[in-house]
Amino acid sequence: MFSLKNKSAVITGGGSGIGKAISLLFAQQGAKVHIVELNAEAAAATVNEITAAGGSALAHTCDVSKQQNVVDLFNSIGVINILINNAGIAHIGNVETTGQDDFDKVMNVNVRGAYNCLFAAMPLMKANKGGVILNTASIAASVGLADRFAYSTSKGAIHAMTLSIARDYVHDNIRCNCISPARIHTPFVDGFIANNYAGREAEIFEKLSKSQPIGRMGKPDEVASLALYLCSDEAGFVTGSDYPIDGGFITLNN
């Protein structure tokens, strides 16, 4: 079950965190993985890890906010069976403390980046008679999170974008879903805590962990397992849906 043999998967932001976990698992399941990253070193390290384990992967350095760059890259890849729109950045602030430049930066990466990848991938998937798209949204698309104005706005757009793509391309045999993680323990989280709460790392980590009713942060591997199911043939009847993976945050915190 859940084999991705003979499938080509493009994973943006695949060099670290959730994207890396998805890249490793998809390669393990037989996919040829194309890691699209702004951070060339991170992409290369993930590719090396995959190939050392006997998998197939290539690294591509690309700024997903630049449409022509994305189109050229995707056309060079050719066949894309699976697209994971995972690249994204965060921002801390409410509407009054979010400057125009900050807002534009988040939207350019999180929203425009996903749009550019969809724009580039859709003709290829249609020519190939189908495909699967998985967008990384967030619980921020469904609930109010303090001081996450720009980030929440971007993830709400990803959720709506998912529904639109699913509706428009259902008759082209293209499925589109999104996942909405709560806090996942990634290097980004460790860096955020270190940069903003120096000397209080353990305290803040514990506080953030317990904000999920289940009592801990999620693991990238757990998110990757959900992504694998949604991108596999076993999920062939699933499209136009959002899947929270949040330790009970949305339901049990209300």
- C-alpha 49/C-alpha 183 separation (Å) is 25
Instruction: Name the pLDDT band for 196 (thresholds 50, 70, 90).
Output: confident
Q: Which residues pair with 12 in a beta bridge?
A: 36
Query: What would the pLDDT profile of 197-216 be if each residue is shown by its tens digit?
Result: 899 999 999 999 998 999 99
- C-alpha 103/C-alpha 95 separation (Å) is 9
Query: What would the pLDDT profile of 82-121 be if each residue is shown by its tens digit?
Result: 999 999 999 999 999 999 999 999 999 999 999 999 999 9
What interhelical angle do 149-169 and 100-107 show, nearest 10?
Answer: 30
DSSP 3: -
Q: For 124-181, give the DSSP string.
A: HHHHTT-EEEEEE--GGGTS--TTBHHHHHHHHHHHHHHHHHHHHHGGGTEEEEEEEE
Residue from 83, 193, 230 nearest 245 by CA: 230
DSSP 31: P
| Least confident span in 51-60, 63-72, 174-183, 187-196 | 187-196
Q: How many other C-beta atoms can be found within 10 angstroms of the C-beta atom of residue 87?
A: 24
Query: What would the pLDDT profile of 27-78 be if each residue is shown by its tens digit?
Result: 999 999 999 999 999 999 999 999 999 999 999 999 999 999 999 999 999 9
Residues of the chain within CATH 3.40.50.720 domain(s) are 8-182+219-248
Catalytic residue among 151, 169, 229, 243: 151
Instruction: Name the pLDDT band for 254 (thresholds 50, 70, 90).
Output: low
Contact 177, 242 (CB under 8 A): yes
- Please tell me the predicted confidence (pLDDT) of residue 1: 93
Tokens 């062939």 -> residue = 236
Query: What would the pLDDT profile of 108-164 be if each residue is shown by its tens digit?
Result: 999 999 999 999 999 999 999 999 999 999 999 999 999 999 999 999 999 999 999
The tokens of 163 are what?
Answer: 């529904």
- C-alpha 91/C-alpha 138 separation (Å) is 14
What interhelical angle do 67-77 and 113-127 show, nearest 10?
Answer: 30
pTM to 2 decimal places: 0.95
- CATH superfamily of this structure's domain 8-182+219-248: NAD(P)-binding Rossmann-like Domain (3.40.50.720)
Q: For 96-128, give the DSSP string.
A: TT--HHHHHHHHIIIIIHHHHHHHHHHHHHHHT
Active site residue 151: yes
Would strands 174-181 and 242-245 be described as parallel, antiparallel, or unpaired?
A: parallel
- Please tell me the predicted confidence (pLDDT) of residue 187: 86
Under DSSP, is residue 245 helix (H, G, I), strand (E, B) or coil?
A: strand
- C-alpha 47/C-alpha 14 separation (Å) is 9
**What are the residues whose beta carbons fall under 8 Å from the beta carbon of 180, sequence distance 6 or more?**
137, 138, 139, 141, 142, 155, 159, 242, 243, 244, 245, 246, 250
Give yes or no for residue 253 having a pLDDT over 90. no
Contact 147, 125 (CB under 8 A): no
